[in-house]
Structure 1
Amino acid sequence: MSRCTVCSLGADHPGVVLDDQQVCNLCNLDFAEDLLVNYHYTSEVFAEFQQAPPAAGEFDCLFMYSGGKDSTYMLDKFVGEYGKRVLAYTFDVPFESVHAAQNIALAQQKIPATYLLDADDDNIKLMMREVFNRPAPTKPGRYLDEKLPCVSCRTFFVLRAILTAHERRIPYIALCADPQQILTMESNVREVVRGFYNTFGERLTGTLFGERLEDLLFEDDDDLPKIVFPFIAMRNEYDPDRIVEELRAKGLYDSSPLETHCTLFPLLNYYSFKNWDCMFYKLNAASHVRAVRRNGDQARNTFSIKFPRTLDLAGVEERLGGVVMAIAAGEGSREEHERTLVDLFQHMDASEDAARFVARSFLDMRSVADDLGIRLG
């Protein structure tokens, strides 16, 4: 398979096209115009939010709080530095790991915000079954097709947050996507709703949300909340290592960034390998390789997970794909799979404890799939 000579993305990766020099469209900055438009808009909305007087209601913003390092860091900043009246909204995803709950408990003790826990286990599981059990997608596919389950899950609880903010007349919603995620996130509330209808159709959307989403489509613009992306607006200041260091110094973070807070992470990799022959974080890793090639010894992070500068991306992907598909098929030894996974994640700079934590989540992939009604193979 042909690969980009800069970042190693394969020619059959969704949305990727190689030119005559075997350089992909991402490395050629074919997305630059869209990025600049999005950066300009998100920077404007964030500046507007920072300067806005206190809202007429009880809260200045609904803050989407997951318990991860990015949202914990920015929640502390919103309350302590910006002085905003914050409703910290957490959607209780049934796939969340114990580490997320521990970090949320730490924040509740130390950050004086109002905390709201929302849940809808049956409907989000129904949607995820729909995504994973669909027939194999048509290739070559579109940009981010390999991340469809993750994007769908996130959009589900973003829509729940939008509905909550709209009902409570909260003017802003803060969403702590890291700077690389600008191409995966829609910043207009009405377009978020339209995108969900396009992906799942009227029948399933109606089952999941009733008529509430349709009401948003016909609401006046001034009565819809605006989505704020603080990390994207502050992209030049984004440094995951510094964020973790500051949070740990304040006693607000007690896990590793590699210890993903989603127990579906192994299934997300299974979906990517099965349908697109790539690992779930391939775009993130390729972005790292691209940055290293272009910036030499200068450190530059634009994403939540930091990869080693000498990462053998193709080698890691090949080994990870082999073990993921073997686990999905129920083949091989659990002990051997664990050794392979721990070694892989340690090569990605995880500590032994973090590597073992993630490895064991992969070993439990079949039981998680059975619980959700997801068909493997």
Structure 2
Amino acid sequence: MSNLKICNRCVLNENYPGVKISDSQKCSCCTDMFGDTYKNYRAAFKNYQEFKKGIKNFTGKHYALLMLSGGKDSTYLLNELVNKYGINVLGFSVKHPFESEVALNNINSLIQKIPFEHIHLSLNTKVYKKIMQKVFSLKRDDIFSERLPCTVCGYITEIAGVTMAYMHKIPYVVYANDPLQILNTDYNIKKDLENMIKICGKADVYSLFGKDIIDEIIRAEEDELPTIVTPYVAMMDSYNENEIIEKLKAENLYRGDSVQTYCSLVPLLNYYSFSKYNSYFFGHQLAQEVRQGNTDRDFALSYMEMYRKIIMEIAIKEDITEDDMKFIRTVLEKKYGKDNKEKIEYECKSIVNMRNVANALQLNISTNS
């Protein structure tokens, strides 16, 4: 990465798809802070205001379908919507082969503790794996995105949630994206479904969701479809991650942390980003942390280099040595602090398991990919 042009304000380099570095060494994301970021914020704010206004006049069964992942943000949002605002929420989760056990346990615990209906949709595992295998295997020039496998999995979840809300006549689908994910909140179900079909093929999309409902969504007018709401993005100035975790754990509603509730695909997603784009999978989020002054820029750059070594030189190996494990732990200790032993060990296991996840998708991984 030392030969790349790197933004001197954040950490993004010219290898990230869509990122340009100017002569003044500023990336296009830093110089266009009032572009997509502001556009997404305004859309999120508008939808959230309409969501709040409509609550008291709603006469149907469920006012909102909440995308419930078992992570801290969707858990906190569920508790707020149900117990603070008295909204009748349909919780919705999507089962897939790489779901976090910690997240799944959190969801099952919430079902016992909070009065809400919940649907845990099981996808056709064979079709899901076929789609993910295809996406991971696409060449760099086929689809220009360092986050493509995650994006496609996000499309799957979005389409599943919106179609469920549409069938149940639920006016809103609520996502718990935190403000750092603002660039990933430009949801448009018709456009995203079109992209999904373009990438994966209509036959696999039909197999996963059903032909009739997909064709109905394609034919529907925009105002006939549920509106997607992202409250945390709309309220970005008041979002406080530490406060959310503290309140949830005080009420025994949440276990683990953000690392432990990630799906087991994360190391492989990083492999995809590094091998095809020489880019860190969480690069945009880390860049935003640097811009906000929450993470030191020099540390962020150093960490990305060390994590690249972990994924591209250690995790791909069939036999990982004790020295390898020591290096992984040292890097993670620098990021999380030595006291976060449970988080560090969880991520270590996830990294070491990368080859097994790749094998489950019948993917060949190597330094030459």
Asked if TM exceeds 0.5, the reply is: yes
- Which deviations, in whole Å up to 9, do the C-alpha atoms of 1:189-242 show, x marking residues without a partner? 322322323333434433433422222121133321111111111111111111
Distance 1:330 1:21 in 2: 40
Distance 2:148 2:66 in 1: 24
**1:310–1:35 CA distance, 2 compared to 1 (3 A):** closer
- 1:337 equivalent in structure 2: 324
Q: CA deviation at 1:284?
A: 1.3
Task: Kindly report which structure 2 residues correspond to 1:60-209, keeping only aligned pairs within 5 A, or say none.
Answer: 60-120=63-123, 121-135=125-139, 137-138=140-141, 142=144, 145-209=145-209
**1:172–1:93 CA distance, 2 compared to 1 (3 A):** same
Distance 2:153 2:176 in 1: 16
Distance 1:106 1:310 in 2: 38
SS in 2 for 1:192: helix
- Which range moved further: 62-71 or 309-318? 309-318
**1:358–1:311 CA distance, 2 compared to 1 (3 A):** farther
- Which deviations, in whole Å up to 9, do the C-alpha atoms of 1:74-118 show, x marking residues without a partner? 000010112110110111122112110221123122211111110
Structure 1 length-normalised TM? 0.89
Structure 2 length-normalised TM? 0.91
Assess if the C-alpha contact under 8 Å between 2:106 and 2:254 holds in 1: yes
Q: CA deviation at 1:328?
A: 4.8
Letter in 1 for 2:43: Y
Q: CA deviation at 1:56?
A: 4.0
Distance 1:255 1:172 in 2: 29
Assess if the C-alpha contact under 8 Å between 1:146 and 1:280 holds in 2: yes
Aligned residues: 358
Letter in 1 for 2:107: I
Assess if the C-alpha contact under 8 Å between 2:329 and 2:348 holds in 1: yes
Assess if the C-alpha contact under 8 Å between 1:42 and 1:187 holds in 2: no
Task: Kindly report which structure 2 residues correspond to 1:49-64, keeping only aligned pairs within 5 A, or say none.
Answer: 49-52=51-54, 53=56, 55-64=58-67
SS in 1 for 2:148: helix
- Which range moved further: 89-98 or 200-209? 200-209
Instruction: List gaps (5 residues or longer) in structure 1.
Output: 293-298, 300-307
Assess if the C-alpha contact under 8 Å between 1:93 and 1:119 holds in 2: yes
Distance 2:325 2:210 in 1: 43
- 1:303 equivalent in structure 2: none
Distance 2:269 2:138 in 1: 14
**1:313–1:33 CA distance, 2 compared to 1 (3 A):** closer
Identity of paired residues, percent? 30
Instruction: List gaps (5 residues or longer) in structure 2.
Output: none
Task: Kindly report which structure 2 residues correspond to 1:308-347, keeping only aligned pairs within 5 A, or say none.
Answer: 308-309=295-296, 312-330=299-317, 333-347=320-334
Q: CA deviation at 1:322?
A: 1.5
Q: CA deviation at 1:332?
A: 5.7
- Which range moved further: 279-288 or 268-277? 279-288
Q: CA deviation at 1:259?
A: 2.6
Q: CA deviation at 1:334?
A: 3.4
Distance 2:57 2:95 in 1: 28
